[in-house]
Amino acid sequence: MTDSQLSRKNDHPDAGLRGAHMPRTLTQVINEANEAVIRGDLSNYIPVPTGLDPLDAAIGGGLQRGELVLLGGAQGIGKTITAMQIARNIAKSSNMYAFYLSYEHTEAHLMNRLLCLESVNPPEMITAQGLRMKDLQDIIVSKHARNYLSKDRGGTGSLRGILRENSRTSPALARLSEYADRLILLKASTAVTTLSAIRDMTARLVKATKGNVVVFVDYLQKVAIHPEKATDENDKVTIIVEGLKDIAMSLDVPVFAIVASDRTGLQAKRLHLFHLRGSSALDYECDIAMIMNNKYKILSKDHIAFNPYQARQYREWVVFTIEKNRAGRAMIDVEFHLHAPFFCFDPQGQMVQQQLIDDKIIEA
């Protein structure tokens, strides 16, 4: 069969989706790649930066199209903060979109988190001007109450009006508005947001954005799989992780998924990839796996004995260990300062310099 005959077969309606092509010769693959470069489409050669510089350096510049990235960690370590901040950083890029599916939080709650984040304006990290969630709520509620009592129903009585009028919230709203059209949020449901639904929504976004979208799933174990049926949780996780990897490959987009820890992991001195809840398919299917641990808990006791006061500062630092990296080095430790009240990390992190062990620190 000639290349022209194969080309006609590739006119199938689904041929525009990666992985849905009919078989092609290597010559056809080279020709397609050549035409893309001629058009100026270098998307398969340029990673999407996360905006967390040391992390990007560790994984080859950022997120790659067609790859599945997993982020694991104990409850409360900052997994959603990490994913939302990366989604925000991507949406701030002039030509990129971020699609964030949350099974844990409403769209309004995520918006409020972003307002708190923007109040400190990473990477400037102006924490003295930062808004905590309680601050934001108090500003909105108190101003709305004053407007109600004064019978002012228009203008500053709206949420936008309240945020624009207040000197603390106005800059945050302005920064958020710069990328609000490129960050798509969805309160996912364990009843209806299935793998098939995620694929369909992503396919539509790929078409609308010309492929310039990154998908975030928060979190993997809550994705619905019906009408498929799983025999147990391991089987369910296998179906989900294989499905997310297929979405990444067939639609040629990066997929970034949060993964919960199992009971053993929650009790471990240091969390690892094998502690993530589900089957070994998590390890097999992902291209990159990052595990988050509180630095203070995994710091060598030698550092504690030498300088216990400095060591206590590490309670607010989180170590990201690249435990799997299909295209580069693994077992790299990078660290970032967590500013939990403002739902963000200082993106100016660094490689971990101290020795890390699995033993839990015991204060003298």
CATH classification of 42-131+168-351 is 3.40.50.300, yes or no?
yes
One pLDDT digit (tens) per residue for the chain, 364 residues: 444 444 433 433 344 444 456 888 999 889 988 887 888 777 777 899 999 999 999 999 999 999 999 999 988 999 999 999 999 999 998 789 999 999 999 999 999 999 999 999 999 999 998 999 999 999 999 877 666 545 555 545 689 999 999 999 999 999 999 999 999 999 999 989 999 999 999 999 999 999 999 999 999 999 999 888 889 889 999 999 999 999 999 999 999 999 988 777 677 888 899 888 887 889 899 999 999 999 988 887 665 555 666 667 888 999 999 999 998 888 999 999 999 999 999 999 999 988 887 644 444 3
Report the b/e string of 310-331 with b at 16+ CB within 10 A. ebeebeebbbbbbbbbeeeeee
Instruction: Give this prediction's pTM.
Output: 0.87
Q: E strands within the chain?
A: 68-73, 97-102, 183-187, 213-218, 255-260, 288-294, 317-325, 332-339, 344-345, 350-351
Domain residues of the chain, as ranges?
Answer: 1-41, 42-131+168-351
- C-alpha distances (whole Å) from 65 to each of 6, 40, 50, 106, 360 are 26, 17, 13, 27, 38
The C-alpha atoms of residue 79 and residue 85 are separated, in whole angstroms, by 10
Q: Residues near 165 by Cβ (< 8 Å), separated by ≥ 6? A: 143, 156
Phi-psi region of 343 (alpha: psi -120 to 50; beta: other; left: phi over 0): left
